[in-house]
Amino acid sequence: MLKLLDLFAGAGGLSLGLTEAGFEPIFACDLKPVFMGAYSLNHPQVKALTSDIRNLAPESILQELSLAQGELDLLAGGPPCQGFSINAPFRSVLDERNHLFRYFLKFVEVFAPKSILIENVPGLVSFENGRTLDDILESLSDLGYSAEAKILGAAYYGVPQARWRTIIIGLRAKDLPAAIFPEPTYKAPLKVNFTATLQGKCLVKYPNYKASLNFVTIDEAIGDLPPLVNGQRGEALKEYLCPPLNAYQLSARIGSPGVSNHEAPNLTAINLQRLKFIKPGDNWTSIPDHLLPKGLRLARKSDHTKRYGRVRPQDLASTILTKCDPHWGAYFHYAQDRVFTVREAARIQSFPDRYVFTGSMADQYAEVGNAVPPLLAKCIGLAIRSVLEKANIGGDLTAG
């Protein structure tokens, strides 16, 4: 197995996908104890440390893991992205979260891994007019890595939601082969609503003619989960509604004894009133003005199109965030008068049902929403693994 370190690991979506691609996580860390609790529960064999990366000594960790410099196969991580996000209310170089990648680079310097994977939001490309992304790429180059950034649409890789991620891959070599980024295999109706170019070059990796599969719909992703009414909790482990109806559901059930983390939050009375007017495909504009929040009463009908949304069952889900609050997105269930449960959000993120989330319900939503979709991570990992194996067969990875 190829050795992996996962920094800013969260609940472990990146580690899970990379494990399924043939990597073995041997160390992971995150600042939040509840995230590391979920990580350790699902990855019990990994040394998982709750710590601020700024307080870690990479040299000590290298020694503790009994690794020689240059022996690690992949160093991966997603430095906190809120400061980079185009949806953030305030983006500034003064935001300390925007500098945590420098501590990631310290690990690169000490471990000298064969490959590097950095994950972030598309807003990274436009942040400071691209200077931050340039700084990351130049820093990797100074450390002896060829690196490139691409923006990948998760739906192009079988994830049933409209989610985009900026992916930076570095290789300890002179040239970075095009095959280091996975080719999309699914066709999906994704829209680019962010800056997608850097120095005149489009970073989005679109499907080509070989992408013959249709995207996975939200109903295909969660349609076999047991129905709930608003506020219903029930048994901690529930039975499936029916046998698996498609390959996605069948894969999600592997190794799972039933449906966990499937409890419906309580919608307020006003949200239940609003929901009566929202059909699949509708949003806040279908709600009578007297029931709208004050801010939306003055908004243009063409703005905030995801708020109080109810997606159609045959469509992609909206991007799963750290909470399924209808005020911020299309999180009303398409056929049931409630919002998505943690398990439904996890299915939309491509987590298997055997993966358990811990802490309060709010913690669980955050664990799911902050994660890299494991299926996307797996596709990226398979591409990196293929290049690493070919490089090792062909000669010294550091040649040139």
CATH code for the domain in which residue 169 is found: 3.40.50.150
Query: Best-predicted range by mean pLDDT among 70-84, 334-348, 384-398?
Result: 334-348
List 81, 242, 324, 379, catalytic entry:
81
37 domain-assigned: yes
Tell me the C-alpha distance between 217 and 315, whole Å: 5
The range of the structural domain enclosing residue 24 comes to 2-213+374-394
341 domain-assigned: no
Cα-based distances in Å from 245 to 144, 252, 299: 49, 11, 41
352 domain-assigned: no
To the query of whether residue 81 is one of the catalytic residues in this protein, the response is: yes
pLDDT of 95 reads 52
Strand-pair partners of 197: 202
Strand-pair partners of 152: 165
pLDDT over 50 at 269, yes or no:
yes
34 domain-assigned: yes
Q: Which of 347, 328, 326, 346 is nearest to 338 (CA)?
A: 326
pLDDT of 96 reads 56
313 domain-assigned: no
Tell me the C-alpha distance between 328 and 288, whole Å: 18
pLDDT of 212 reads 83
Tell me the C-alpha distance between 230 and 339, whole Å: 8
pLDDT over 70 at 131, yes or no:
yes
* pLDDT tens track for 209-243: 888 889 999 999 999 999 999 999 999 999 999 99
36 domain-assigned: yes
How many independent structural domains does the chain possess?
Answer: 1
321 domain-assigned: no
39 domain-assigned: yes
